[in-house]
């Protein structure tokens, strides 16, 4: 399946290569570089590039291209999903997935890649198992290793892969037994010029951090499971129980994992938590444009809107801006024409606004499109859809765990057309 993997940085250097079958010359990447050159933006490089003898399937994460070399027919999503899993694993291990981190930990990276694929077919991709095979590097361990000469390869061979619960290792022990669940909902919306909603939907995830001793068997139930329209589960969730009783029943992996992602049925009207008043005009013949933007809370269920960040790609004709934010800071990059306004918290009494003028290229005709405004925000302690967890029970172990649940709403792809 996957023949080789090349890691390419944003300046087009191959800084890591790994082969699972016979060695493929790195010159195969020239086809990739060609495509990269043709693309105007880094994101526009096509994910699948056919070459005379191979096929290149690439993903772009953290400004690094992960280019897999394929020799024969394979579902492209299989490769893409795997590459993303690799990136997730690196992130899990090194905290960040940057070129520097990978170069610093090249041996661990190599060991990981070796375990994750055998002959190009995925072998161990569960983080619980990998962590048993190869210990993630920590500062402490690095120090200890240099002194004692011990290694970061697990002495114990993993048990999880062989057990009935392949995602959980055995012999987990904690002094404080805790289980935390974060219900995070993201609202995707497109708002048109006049402020009416073109499309809006809510997607949510439940991320869990479970640190429980032994083999706990958890059940999580909702007050209003009917809200969930389409769901996808971590493999640990028992599908039949969900189908029959709308209860999440599972033996959790150890540590952090995503338990569930869901989509809220579209029949429910989505409450848009913020509104935007805008007035962006370019006049024909004048080298000035007006820019006015005001944000305000709409339906937020009494919770404050925080961490608001506005950005907008201004037309190419804009040379510079002279704006005045009522709160927060704004930046404008004259090269990329990206306007960013870090608003912070919205105070309903005093609405934040950004007003001023834009200077345009002299003599150039007026841009025909007004920029789109992308907004990010957070609302703590509330899930926009109203989803509520009813209770969490644990079976199979004797102790009383500490349980916690947190709700949050975020903006996903929230766009306002002007």
Partner 1 sequence: MLSMSTNNSSYNDQGGADSAVEIGQETTPTSNSGAGFGLFSTDFKKNDDLKEMLENNKESLKLEAMKRIVGLIAKGKNASELFPAVVKNVASKNIELKKLVYVYLVRYAEEQQDLALLSISTFQRALKDPNQLIRASALRVLSSIRVPIIIPIMMLAIKEAASDMSPYVRKTSAHAIQKLYSLDPDQKEHLIEVIEKLLKDKSTLVAGSVVMAFEEVCPERIDLIHKNYRKLCNLLVDVEEWGQVVIISMLTRYARTQFTSPWREDGVFDENSERAFYESDEEKTRDDTEIKPYTMDPDHRLLLRNTKPLLQSRNTAVVMSVAQLYWHLAPRNEVSIVTKSLVRLLRSHREVQYIVLQNIATMSIQRKGMFEPYMKSFYVRSTDATHIKSLKLEILTNLANEANISTILREFQTYVKSQDKQFAAGTIQAIGRCATNISEVTDTCLNGLVLLLSNRDETVVAESVVVIKKLLQAQPSQHSDIIKHMAKLLDNITVSMARASILWLIGEYCERVPKIAPDVLRKMAKSFTSEEDIVKLQTVNLAAKLYLTNSKQTKLLTQYILNLGKYDQNYDIRDRTRFIRQLIVPNEKSGALSKYARRILLAPKPAPVLESAYKDRDRYQLGTLSHTINTKASGYLELSDWPAVAPDQSVRNVEVIEPVKEWAPSLGKTGKSKPAKSSDDKFYSDSGEEEEDEKGSGTSSSNDGSSSSSAGLSLCLCVPPPGPVCVSGPAFVPEKSHNLLHRMTGKGLAAQYQFTRQPCLYQPNMVSVQISLTNTSDHRLEQIHIGERSPAGLKIHCFNTIGESHCFSTLDDTKEDQFSVSIQPAVGDLFLAVTMTEQDFRKEQGKLQGMNECSATITVTAENTSSQPLNRRVAAMANVGVVPSGQDNVHRFAGKTACSGAVLLVTVELRESSAAVITINTEKSVMGSMLLRDLKKSLAQA
Residue 373: strand, helix, or coil: strand
**Which of 31, 62, 71, 304 lies at the binding interface for partner 1 (CB under 8 A)?**
71
Sequential DSSP letters for 116-136: HEETTEE----HHHHHHHBPP
Q: Which stretch binds partner 1 (CB under 8 A): 20-28, 294-302, 353-361, 377-385?
A: 20-28
Closest to partner 1 by CB, 119 vs 320, is 119
Residue 119 within binding range of partner 1, rule CB under 8 A:
yes
**Is 70 an interacting residue with respect to partner 1 (CB under 8 A)?**
yes
Min separation Cβ 140 and partner 1, Å: 15
**Min separation Cβ 148 and partner 1, Å:** 9
Structure tokens at 51: 């070459």
| Residue 107 binds partner 1 (CB under 8 A) | yes
CA–CA separation, 256 and 409 (whole Å): 20
As a whole number of Å, the end-to-end CA separation of the chain is 47
Q: Which residues, 6+ apart, have CB-to-CB distance to 127 below 8 Å?
A: 88, 89, 92, 253, 255, 257
Tell me the closest approach of the beta carbon of residue 261 to partner 1, in angstroms.
7
Nearest approach in angstroms of CB 209 to partner 1 is 17
Q: Which residue has the tokens 């694929």?
A: 117
Site for partner 1 in 29-48 (CB under 8 A): 40-41, 43-44, 46-48
73 binds partner 1 (CB under 8 A): yes
Backbone angles phi, psi at 169, to 5 degrees: -85, 160
135, 129 Cβ separation under 8 angstroms: no
In the chain, how long is the greatest CA-to-CA distance? 78
Shortest Å distance, C-beta 276 to partner 1: 15
Asked whether the beta carbons of 190 and 418 are under 8 A apart, the reply is: no
Tokens (6 digits) for 93: 């291990």
Regarding 245 and contact with partner 1 (CB under 8 A), the answer is: no
Nearer CB in complex with partner 1: 132/211: 132
Site stretch for partner 1 (CB under 8 A), options 73-81, 171-179, 274-282, 299-307: 73-81
372 is a contact residue toward partner 1 (CB under 8 A): yes
Q: Which is nearer to partner 1, 254 or 297 (CB)?
A: 254
Rounded distance, CA 202 to CA 384, Å? 8
Contact 70, 3 (CB under 8 A): yes
From candidates 31, 33, 62, 74, binder to partner 1 by CB under 8 A: 74
Q: Shortest approach of partner 1 to residue 65 CB, angstroms?
A: 11
Nearest to 371 by CA among 291, 274, 305: 291
Burial class (CB in 10 A: 0-12, 13-18, 19+), 351: middle
Please state, in angstroms and rounded to a whole number, the distance separating the CA atoms of residues 317 and 319: 6
159/382 with CB nearer partner 1: 159
Ranges within 160-219 binding partner 1 (CB under 8 A): 161-162, 164-166, 188, 190, 192, 198-199, 201, 203, 215, 217
**Is the separation of the CB atoms in 352 and 328 below 8 Å?**
yes
Q: Identify whether the C-beta of residue 309 lies closer than 8 Å to the C-beta of residue 345.
A: no
Distance of closest approach, residue 318 Cβ to partner 1, in angstroms: 11
Is position 110 an interface residue for partner 1 (rule: CB under 8 A)?
yes
Minimum CB separation of residue 238 from partner 1 in Å reads 4
Does 139 bind partner 1 (CB under 8 A)? Our answer is: no
Binding span for partner 1 by CB under 8 A among 10-18, 175-183, 338-346, 376-384: 10-18
Residue 376, both tokens = 């990010």
* 23 binds partner 1, rule: CB under 8 A: yes
Stretch that binds partner 1, among 22-30, 294-302, 320-328, 382-390 (CB under 8 A): 22-30
Q: What residues pair up with 70 in beta bridges, in sequence order?
A: 2, 55
Question: If DSSP codes are grouped into helix, strand and coil, which group holds residue 21?
Answer: coil
Residues linked to residue 249 through DSSP beta bridges, in sequence order: 219
Rounded Cα distance, 119 and 137, in Å:
26
Taking the complex as a whole, the smallest distance from the CB of residue 414 to partner 1 amounts, in Å, to 10
Counting contacts by CB under 8 A, is residue 76 touching partner 1?
A: yes
Q: Which stretch binds partner 1 (CB under 8 A): 326-334, 350-358, 368-376, 384-392?
A: 368-376
Least Å distance between CB 302 and partner 1?
28
**Nearest-approach distance from CB 371 to partner 1, in angstroms:** 8
């Amino acid at each position: 399946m996957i023949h080789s993997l090349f890691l390419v940085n944003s300046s087009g250097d191959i800084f890591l290569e790994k082969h699972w079958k016979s060695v493929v010359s790195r010159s195969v990447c020239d086809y990739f570089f060609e495509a990269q050159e043709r693309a105007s933006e880094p994101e526009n490089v096509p994910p699948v590039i056919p070459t005379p003898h191979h096929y290149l399937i690439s993903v772009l994460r953290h400004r690094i291209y992960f280019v897999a070399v394929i020799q024969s027919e394979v579902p492209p999503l299989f490769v893409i999903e795997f590459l993303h899993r690799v990136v997730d694993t690196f992130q899990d291990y090194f905290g960040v997935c940057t070129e520097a981190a990978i170069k610093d930990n090249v041996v661990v990276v190599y060991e990981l890649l070796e375990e994750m694929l055998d002959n190009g077919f995925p072998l161990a991709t569960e983080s619980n198992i990998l962590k048993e095979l190869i210990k993630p590097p920590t500062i402490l361990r690095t120090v200890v290793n240099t002194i004692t000469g011990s290694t970061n390869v697990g002495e114990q061979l993993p048990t999880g892969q062989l057990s009935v619960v392949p995602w959980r290792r055995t012999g987990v022990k904690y002094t404080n037994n805790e289980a935390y669940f974060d219900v995070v909902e993201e609202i995707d919306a497109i708002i048109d010029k006049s402020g009416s909603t073109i499309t809006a939907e809510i997607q949510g995830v439940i991320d869990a951090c479970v640190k429980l001793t032994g083999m706990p068997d958890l059940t999580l139930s909702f007050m209003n499971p009917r809200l969930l329209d389409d769901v996808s589960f971590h493999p640990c969730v028992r599908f039949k129980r969900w189908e029959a009783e709308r209860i999440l029943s599972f033996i959790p992996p150890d540590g952090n994992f995503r338990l569930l992602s869901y989509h809220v049925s579209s029949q429910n009207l989505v409450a848009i938590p913020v509104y935007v008043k805008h007035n962006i005009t370019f006049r024909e013949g004048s080298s000035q444009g007006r820019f006015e933007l005001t944000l305000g809370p709409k339906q937020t269920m009494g919770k404050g809107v925080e961490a608001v960040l506005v950005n907008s790609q201004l037309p190419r004709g804009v040379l510079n801006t002279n704006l005045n934010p009522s709160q927060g800071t704004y930046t404008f990059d004259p090269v990329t024409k990206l306007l960013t306004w870090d608003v912070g918290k919205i105070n309903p009494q005093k609405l934040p606004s950004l007003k001023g003028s834009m200077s345009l290229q002299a003599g150039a005709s007026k841009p025909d499109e007004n920029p789109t405004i992308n907004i990010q925000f957070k609302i703590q302690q509330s899930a926009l859809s109203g989803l509520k967890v009813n209770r969490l029970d644990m079976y199979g172990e004797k102790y009383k765990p500490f349980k916690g649940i947190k709700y949050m709403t975020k903006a996903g792809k929230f766009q306002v057309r002007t």
